[in-house]
Amino acid sequence: MGRIGRNQGVPSLPAAVYPGAFALHTNTELVENTTRTVFPQIVESLTRPIKAAEPKTAKKEDSGTIVFKGTFDEVNRFFLARKWGDGLPLVPPTLKRVEEFLHYTDLAPDAEIAILPSASLRATPRNIAVNAVMAGCRPEHMPLLLAMVKVLGNPSFRLASSGGSTHCFTSYLCVNGPLARQLGIDCGQGLIAHPVNHVIGRALGLIERNIAGFRIKETQMGSFGKTQSWVLAEDEEAMAAIGWEPYHVEKGYDKNASTVSVGSSTVWGHNLIPATSDAKIIMQLMAYGLTYKEGFASGIILSARTLLMTPPVAKVLAAGGYTRQSLKEDLVKNARKITYEWAFSKVYGTFGRVFTSFEEELANCLKEEGAEKGKLPPWYPRFPGWEEIQTTPVLQPGNLEIFVCGDPNRNKVQTMAGGHLTTTEVVLPENWDTLMKAAGYPPLKSFYR
């Protein structure tokens, strides 16, 4: 709390700690715990002298400092003892290895890429490279990692609120453009488990730990822990075959630009399995998945969603006349929940005691914009009087993104609930083709579309 407070301009942020999960306590327990435990802390915090404000400057790391010398095992024990690792074996970030990464950027080693909350540390090519080495990345991954960190530092990504959240938000990376193909980032069946995708995802996790400062039991407070970050690449060849534009082109980038989009999700898994060639029914099934995945039972109805679909599903949808945009529009229209259920999840889910009685909140929900009669989704049975049942949309326009990726021989759709995607273009060094030729890669232009 103190670190977050300082990051938001509060020099000394006292915290009154309530014992236990207050939303699960009876009114009697709430009164007793508040009067006996919380209130004395508040009085003590308000009556003691306030500490002097610390200068609000980003902390600087020593440039090129050797912190330890030893064997592989000794290095790993040293780093783990200082909470610099994730528990898996680390590649020792020697000066030579870090220098190899720095060859793949035109930026100075100590140039500021971003200041990452909550630790407010300066992310630089050098400390980004250190974490990338430890994760097992290759030097040629460096431009991708620099773009990724730039997005992490963008206020619109909201790393400060998601990185340490008790909701277990996990950051993930979506890559588009020729660089993804040149680097061999997988867009097919293996996807997040592919070796290239895997090490870049691990680097993202280590950067959040060591530069952003999110460490378990300290500032990373996921209630059930936090999975390792993952990396996706869109199957642009499959999209071209069905006449859909890649994600980054729809966002206004040139088709041969390379981009990185960073998002966050509280869930991974639980596939939908469409078993029909009717595009409209597939859309309805996807709306069903969007409605029931994670967020609603928690009382968070309007959080952003990202849909992953395999190429065969996208092909059927395109053949049925859908573009990515028209599919989003129909999903927003059809992903609806009975308003009674929405009120139930708000009162007894995440928002808990901020509301009054269920009956009062239900009355409020029935008056909300978007709550309408006669829009019962197709998965509900049509019984007498169904036209009078009010439903509420679970998505707002602009809160849904779609990626085509995964097994090209399977009929799968997956919903990820979490934050919005933030995108930036990857900047390559001027001598990129020379460096990549020496590393054994074909030129970037050979991967243009």
What are the pLDDT digits (tens) for 382-427? 888 899 999 999 888 888 999 999 999 999 999 888 778 899 999 9
Looking at residue 397, its pLDDT comes to 87
Strands 230-233, 170-176: pairing kind: parallel
Q: Is residue 18 domain-shared with residue 153, that is, in the same domain?
A: no
For residue 281, pLDDT beyond 50 = yes
Looking at residue 62, its pLDDT comes to 52
Looking at residue 55, its pLDDT comes to 53
The mean pLDDT of 65-72, rounded to a whole number, is 92
Can you say how many angstroms the Cα of residue 67 is from the centroid of all Cα atoms in its chain?
32
Rounded to 10 deg, the angle between the 125-135 and 142-152 helix axes is 110
Rounded to 10 deg, the angle between the 95-102 and 125-135 helix axes is 120
The mean pLDDT of 288-304, rounded to a whole number, is 70
| Phi, psi torsion values for 170, nearest 5 degrees | -115, 125
The single residue listed with the structure tokens 């936090």 is: 226
- The answer to whether position 155 is within a domain reads yes
Q: How does 49-64 read in b/e, with b if 16+ C-beta sit within 10 Å?
A: eeeeeeeeeeeebeee
For residue 332, pLDDT beyond 70 = yes
DSSP β-bridge partners for residue 337: 392
Highest mean pLDDT of the ranges 205-219, 230-244, 269-283, 302-316: 230-244
Number of H helices, E strands in the chain: 18, 12
Lowest mean pLDDT among 50-54, 114-118, 324-328, 396-400: 50-54
Looking at residue 371, its pLDDT comes to 94
- pLDDT top residue among 313 and 415: 313
Looking at residue 348, its pLDDT comes to 81
CA–CA separation, 5 and 351 (whole Å): 23
CA–CA separation, 279 and 323 (whole Å): 11
CA–CA separation, 241 and 318 (whole Å): 10
The mean pLDDT of 296-308, rounded to a whole number, is 71
Q: Is residue 90 domain-shared with residue 35, that is, in the same domain?
A: no
> Residue 281 is which amino acid?
I
- The answer to whether position 165 is within a domain reads yes
Q: Is residue 246 domain-shared with residue 109, that is, in the same domain?
A: yes
Helix (H) or strand (E) holding 77: helix 72-81
Report CA-CA distances (Å) from 211 to 73, 132, 205: 23, 12, 10
Q: Is residue 22 domain-shared with residue 101, that is, in the same domain?
A: no
Q: Strands, DSSP E only, in 246-335?
A: 259-265, 304-309
Q: Which residues lie below 8 Å from residue 381, measured CB to CB, with a gap of 6+?
A: none
Looking at residue 354, its pLDDT comes to 60
Q: Is residue 128 domain-shared with residue 80, that is, in the same domain?
A: yes
The single residue listed with the structure tokens 């330890």 is: 68
Tens-place pLDDT, residues 179-214: 999 999 999 999 999 999 999 999 999 999 999 998
- pLDDT top residue among 10 and 116: 116
- The answer to whether position 327 is within a domain reads no
Looking at residue 53, its pLDDT comes to 54
Provide the number of structural domains found in the chain: 2
- Give residue 9's pLDDT band: very low, low, confident or very high (50, 70, 90): low
For residue 57, pLDDT beyond 60 = no
Q: Is residue 86 domain-shared with residue 30, that is, in the same domain?
A: no
For residue 6, pLDDT beyond 80 = no
- The answer to whether position 276 is within a domain reads no
Yes or no: say if 140 and 441 are a contact pair by the CB < 8 Å rule. Answer: yes
Q: Is residue 144 domain-shared with residue 255, that is, in the same domain?
A: yes
- The answer to whether position 86 is within a domain reads yes
The mean pLDDT of 296-321, rounded to a whole number, is 84
Q: Is residue 222 domain-shared with residue 104, that is, in the same domain?
A: yes
Q: Is residue 181 domain-shared with residue 231, that is, in the same domain?
A: yes
Looking at residue 299, its pLDDT comes to 54
Yes or no: say if 176 and 403 are a contact pair by the CB < 8 Å rule. Answer: no
Looking at residue 60, its pLDDT comes to 52
Can you say how many angstroms the Cα of residue 33 is from the centroid of all Cα atoms in its chain?
35
Angle at 294 (CA atoms; ends 264, 85), nearest 5 degrees: 40
For residue 353, pLDDT beyond 80 = no
Q: Is residue 35 domain-shared with residue 123, that is, in the same domain?
A: no
CA–CA separation, 317 and 335 (whole Å): 17
Yes or no: say if 176 and 261 are a contact pair by the CB < 8 Å rule. Answer: yes
The residue range of the domain holding 38 is 2-47
Tens-place pLDDT, residues 128-176: 999 999 999 999 999 999 999 999 998 888 787 777 887 788 899 999 9
For residue 8, pLDDT beyond 90 = no
Looking at residue 58, its pLDDT comes to 47
- The answer to whether position 224 is within a domain reads yes
Q: Is residue 35 domain-shared with residue 149, that is, in the same domain?
A: no
Looking at residue 270, its pLDDT comes to 80
CA within 13 Å, CB half, 120 = 14
- The answer to whether position 42 is within a domain reads yes
> Residue 387 is which amino acid?
E
Looking at residue 201, its pLDDT comes to 96
- The answer to whether position 405 is within a domain reads no
Q: What is the mean pLDDT of the chain?
A: 88
Q: Is residue 36 domain-shared with residue 185, that is, in the same domain?
A: no
